[in-house]
């Protein structure tokens, strides 16, 4: 087929389609009028539905336009705030942690705790050999008893020399009491006890080991709560506050989130990293968290307020993003918007919008600038030649 013949066939198809549109579409005269076609030409065109009986009240064009307007759904503009979210990595520590050591030097006689045992404050963890200290305590008791009896024997003498002996006897009693207290203290120090309540870590000693004051018997962690230290950029320093809520998620357990709050904020910015140290307190009710775990810490800060629209209402063209607003005359207006932030259920925009403005969310394909639209549950009524929308009761 020659190129000329193809062009002629294409033109014929286009002309035929145009004629069919002019004959069938009720909106054809209005479209031609908008593009500048003279009224005389429009008047001689065939009318859609010629030969059919015109509807009663056809002279009232407002009612016909309302019936043919596209049906749309709208959602009101609301106000929302920018959610500025912070995410950082931190390390957890037990709220209290003590490395238990012996106060004296000596061999271990017995170990009374195992790794993982829960211990209470003051519970006996281990005992050093204390035979020598027991003998010293018993000797102190004998010396105190002897000094006490001697003081009682001098108590009934009345001479000046006897009064001096009584005084010395009392001093001997006090000295014997102090010696007994010292012997009991030395004996008590042979017992290694838990300084706090918590869970014992790995026990590093065995009976017979000779320990010093530097030997770690075991670590005891109170992990009823964990402290998580993390670093935040300095731009957040003026919005952080004690008690602010945080969410901590263990890196080794993705998907699990533990709520907490800010417990402490450092008093200065680190000059090298330009970050601020923050400490969060995370309750560990079910005892599933451990000291030393890595956490992803998240915080949300409420920012400036903006109009928020349904994500379905935002459209795009060559000039950028826009939405369709429905005015009080039930006609649509194109409003240009600048997207500020996208949220799962709304889009924050910067635009000439008021809270409560209806914005088209569905039926967008048939919406045009200045075109009339219909809403579900409403019908177009005409009074005195003027269109009016009434809500169905």
- Examine the domain organization and report whether 197 and 147 are in the same domain: yes
| 196 falls within a domain | yes
> With pLDDT > 70 as the criterion, what percentage of the chain qualifies?
81
Range of the domain at 245: 86-93+218-302
**Could you tell me if residue 201 is inside a domain?**
yes
Both 179 and 199 in one domain: the answer is: yes
The reported pLDDT for the residue numbered 27 is: 66
CB 289 within 8 A of CB 258: yes
275-292: pLDDT as tens digits = 999 999 999 988 889 999
Asked if residue 310 has pLDDT above 70, the reply is yes
Tell me how far apart the alpha carbons of residues 64 and 59 are, in angstroms, rounded to a whole number. Answer: 9
Question: What rounded mean pLDDT belongs to the chain?
Answer: 82
pLDDT in tens, 32-88: 666 666 665 565 565 544 443 444 444 444 444 455 788 999 999 999 887 777 889
Chain segment 2-41, per-residue pLDDT in tens: 777 778 788 787 877 777 766 666 666 666 666 666 665 5
Residue 389 has pLDDT above 50, yes or no: no
103-118: pLDDT as tens digits: 999 999 999 999 889 9
CATH code at position 148 = 2.40.50.100
The reported pLDDT for the residue numbered 62 is: 45
Say whether pLDDT at 201 is over 60: yes
Specify if 59 maps to a domain. Answer: no
Instruction: Let me know if residue 66 belongs to a domain.
Output: no
Q: In Å, what is the CA distance from 294 to each residue of 86, 222, 273, 285, 289?
A: 17, 18, 20, 18, 10
| Domain CATH for 267 | 2.40.30.170
Q: Which of 23-32, 260-269, 319-328, 352-361 has the lowest mean pLDDT?
A: 23-32
Question: Do 343 and 297 fall within a single domain?
Answer: no
Q: What's the predicted TM-score (pTM) here?
A: 0.52
Specify the pLDDT at position 265. Answer: 94
Q: How far apart are CA 77 and CA 307, in angstroms?
A: 6
Same domain for 200 and 225: no
- Asked whether residue 266 is domain-assigned, the answer is yes
Please identify, among 171, 190, 213, the residue that sits at the C-terminal boundary of a domain.
Answer: 213
Task: State the pLDDT at residue 236.
Answer: 85
Same domain, 108 and 201: yes
How does pLDDT run across 203-253, given as a tens digit for each residue? 988 999 999 999 999 999 999 999 999 999 888 888 889 999 999 999 988
Percent of the chain with pLDDT over 90: 49
Give me the pLDDT at residue 384, please: 40
Domain boundary among 184, 213, 242: 213
Q: Is residue 114 one of the residues assigned to a domain?
A: yes
Distance CA 219, CA 100 (A): 6
Asked which of 267, 302, 337 is the last residue of a domain, the reply is 302
**pLDDT at residue 391 greater than cutoff 70:** no
How many structural domains are present in the chain? 4
Return all residues near 279 (Cβ < 8 A) that are at least 6 apart: 227, 228, 229, 262, 263, 264, 265
Q: Note whether 271 and 296 are same-domain residues.
A: yes
Mean pLDDT confidence for 122-132:
92
pLDDT of the residue at 247:
92
Looking at the structure, tell me whether residues 180 and 225 fall in a common domain. no
| pLDDT score, position 85 | 79
Does position 299 have pLDDT exceeding 60, yes or no? yes
Average pLDDT over residues 122-130: 92
- Residue 7 has a pLDDT of 81
Strands 386-391 and 332-336, sheet pairing:
unpaired
Same domain, 241 and 290: yes
200 and 250 housed in the same domain: no
* Mean pLDDT of all residues in 147-173: 74
**Residue, of 81 and 127, whose pLDDT is higher:** 127
Mean pLDDT calculated for residue range 166-182? 89
- 158: pLDDT strictly greater than 70: no
| 115 shares a domain with 77 | no
Residue 47 CA: distances (Å) to CA of 22, 35, 39, 286, 347: 8, 18, 14, 79, 45
Q: Say if 168 falls within a structural domain.
A: yes
367 or 13, higher pLDDT: 367
**Shared domain check, 122 and 207:** yes
201 vs 157: which has the higher pLDDT? 201
Report pLDDT for 11. Answer: 79
Structural domain contains residue 236:
yes
- Let me know whether 108 and 203 are in one domain: yes
pLDDT of residue 45: 61
pLDDT the model gives residue 304: 79
């Amino acid at each position: 087929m020659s190129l000329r013949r193809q062009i002629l066939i294409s033109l014929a198809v286009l002309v035929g389609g145009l004629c069919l549109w002019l004959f069938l579409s009720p909106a054809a005269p209005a479209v031609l009028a908008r593009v500048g076609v003279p009224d005389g030409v429009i008047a001689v065109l065939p009318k859609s539905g010629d030969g059919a009986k015109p509807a009663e009240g056809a002279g009232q064009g407002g009612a016909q336009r309302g019936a043919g307007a596209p049906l749309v759904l709208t959602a009101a503009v609301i106000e929302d705030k920018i959610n500025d979210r912070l995410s950082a990595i931190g390390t957890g520590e037990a709220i209290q942690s003590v490395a238990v050591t012996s106060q004296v030097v000596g061999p271990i006689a017995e170990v009374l705790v195992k790794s993982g045992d829960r211990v209470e404050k003051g519970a006996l963890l281990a005992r050093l050999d204390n035979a020598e200290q027991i003998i010293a305590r018993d000797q102190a008791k004998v010396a105190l008893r002897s000094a006490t009896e001697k003081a009682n024997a001098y108590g009934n003498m009345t001479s000046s020399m006897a009064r001096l002996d009584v005084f010395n006897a009392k001093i001997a009693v006090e000295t014997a009491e102090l010696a007994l207290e010292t012997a009991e203290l030395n004996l008590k120090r042979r017992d290694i006890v838990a300084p706090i309540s918590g869970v014992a870590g790995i026990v590093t000693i065995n009976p017979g080991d000779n320990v010093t004051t530097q030997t770690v018997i075991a670590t005891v962690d109170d992990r009823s709560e964990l402290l998580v230290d993390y670093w935040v950029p300095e731009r957040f320093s003026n919005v952080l506050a004690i008690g602010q809520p945080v969410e901590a998620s263990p890196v080794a357990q993705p998907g699990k989130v533990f709520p907490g709050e800010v417990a402490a904020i450092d008093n200065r910015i680190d000059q090298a990293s330009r970050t601020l140290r923050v400490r969060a307190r995370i309750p560990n009710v079910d005892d599933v968290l451990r000291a030393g775990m890595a956490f992803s810490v998240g915080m949300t800060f409420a920012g400036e307020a903006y109009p928020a629209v349904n994500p379905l209402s935002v459209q795009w063209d060559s000039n950028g993003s826009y939405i369709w607003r429905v005015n009080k005359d039930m006609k649509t207006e194109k409003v240009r918007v600048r997207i500020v932030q996208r949220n799962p259920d709304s889009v924050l925009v910067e635009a000439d919008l008021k809270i409560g403005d209806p914005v088209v969310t569905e039926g967008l394909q048939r919406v045009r600038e200045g075109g009339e639209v219909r809403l579900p549950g409403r019908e177009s009524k005409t009074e005195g030649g003027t269109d009016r929308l009434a809500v169905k009761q």
